[in-house]
Structure 1
Amino acid sequence: MARYIGPKSKIARRFGEAIFGPDKVLESKAYPPGQHGPNQRRNKTSEYGLQLKEKQKAKYTYGILERQFRTLFKKANSSKGVTGEVLLQLLECRLDNVVYRLGIAPTRSAARQLVSHKHITVNGSVVNIASYSVRPGDIVGVREKSKSLEVVSNSLASHRGGQYSWLEWDSAALSGKFLNRPERTEIPENIKEQLIVELYSK
């Protein structure tokens, strides 16, 4: 199972955003990594550079590598609707992302681990594929044997329910219903998806 396992704070500093969640390093070092980071001259980035940076940001944010990302783009490009918006919707439909959005896990990487270790169910059946595409009406929950996991209880304790309009959380059953694909205005990620479309359209 391919995933990025390198230094996350360095990546977050490169983009100047806490794309992996709250980061104390980013707060104290709000400049690019490297020995010249604090004094780095801001040269004008090319159009291609901006497009590539946006694609990389999206990939790191959702925790997927190039092959999966390109496959999702092709699927979005052949679907009805605005390609960039459909791409973000497909990313939001990934099971690991839904688990994160529901507050079952504190980060997407933690959500991915819960899924791969068979702690998560979809419509009552265990699903251990992080890229599984959740459909409207699906119920995503915590497996009965896993409800006492410390990482789950701690995450839910610090999570504010009802944060996302396309998800409905049942605190008693520790499960959430995926109501519909979110509109672009509802997705909080700071990603300029049109730049990604332009990059792949070359």
Structure 2
Amino acid sequence: MARYRGPKSKIARKFGEPIFGPDKVFEHKNYPPGMHGLASKRRKVSEYGQQLKEKQKAKYTYGVLERQFRTLFKKAQASKGVTGEVLLQLLESRLDNVVFRLGIAKTRAAARQFVSHKHITVNGKLVNIPSYTVKSGDVIGVREKSKSLEEITGSLQSRRSSQYEWLEWDGAQMAGKFLNRPEREEIPENIKEQLIVELYSK
């Protein structure tokens, strides 16, 4: 599966929630797309269908491709702790996601673009790999030359302070510290990770 670049409202309607953020179209049409949208909403979904849907939701939410997702799952399986929770922690530790959580970018797609276009630094060094795994204590900042970019300054002006317990933001430096991997209850995404574990365990 190539990275999805089509209408995001259509995908949000498919999963029944605004997974890409505030969505006016979804608010007016919060049922599956297509001529049988309302009918398919009432149709009973199989156990496999529910598991697959949950995996797809996680992939679309974090903007991860199938191969990357499977690799992260295997890494989570080999780690200590509950596999599903570790999987979400690994997804949250991706550099593009951390840039989004810090408020440097308004969406994960924008964060991914900022990283690949070399606007972001980790511990003072340029990193242009969106899937880069951020570790506890790492400082993620905006490159000096990029601090005046309208897209970045606009996003930072609308950010909420101290939104996430596992992140620390320094407005003067336009940089944030990744304190630790978040606990499951701290991750706001509505993802039933156990269904994903069950799917891959078959």
Query: Which interval holds the TM-score relative to the shorter structure?
Result: over 0.9
Q: 1:91 to 1:41 in 2, by over 3 A?
A: closer
Secondary structure in 1 matching 2:177: strand
Asked whether the equivalents of residues 3 and 65 of structure 1 are also in contact (C-alpha less than 8 Å), the reply is: yes
Tell me which residue corresponds to 2:49. 49
Tell me which residue corresponds to 2:173. 173
Tell me which residue corresponds to 1:142. 142
Tell me which residue corresponds to 1:76. 76
Of the structure 1 ranges 36-45 and 177-186, higher mean CA displacement relative to structure 2 is found in 36-45
Tell me which residue corresponds to 1:9. 9
TM-score by length of structure 1 reads 0.97
Q: 1:39: Cα distance to partner?
A: 4.3
Tell me which residue corresponds to 1:33. 33
Matched, 1:151 2:151: yes
Q: 1:11 to 1:160 in 2, by over 3 A?
A: same
Q: 1:47 to 1:123 in 2, by over 3 A?
A: same
AA at the equivalent of 1:195:
L
Tell me which residue corresponds to 1:120. 120
Number of residues of Structure 1 aligned to a counterpart in Structure 2 = 201
Q: 1:6: Cα distance to partner?
A: 2.0
Q: 1:41: Cα distance to partner?
A: 5.9
Alpha-carbon distance in 2 for matches of 1:29, 1:40: 14
TM-score by length of structure 2 reads 0.97
Alpha-carbon distance in 1 for matches of 2:185, 2:100: 19
Asked whether the equivalents of residues 76 and 83 of structure 2 are also in contact (C-alpha less than 8 Å), the reply is: yes
Alpha-carbon distance in 2 for matches of 1:31, 1:41: 7
Q: 1:193: Cα distance to partner?
A: 0.3
- Per-residue displacement from partner, 1:138-197 (whole Å, max 9, x unpaired)? 000000000001111111111101000000000000000000000000000000000000
Alpha-carbon distance in 2 for matches of 1:127, 1:23: 31
Alpha-carbon distance in 1 for matches of 2:111, 2:82: 28
Q: 1:42: Cα distance to partner?
A: 1.4
Secondary structure in 2 matching 1:84: helix
Alpha-carbon distance in 1 for matches of 2:28, 2:145: 40
- Per-residue displacement from partner, 1:94-134 (whole Å, max 9, x unpaired)? 00000000000000000000000000000000000000000
Q: 1:28: Cα distance to partner?
A: 1.1
Asked whether the equivalents of residues 59 and 66 of structure 2 are also in contact (C-alpha less than 8 Å), the reply is: yes
What is the aligned-residue RMSD (CA, Å)?
0.9
Identity of paired residues, percent?
Answer: 78
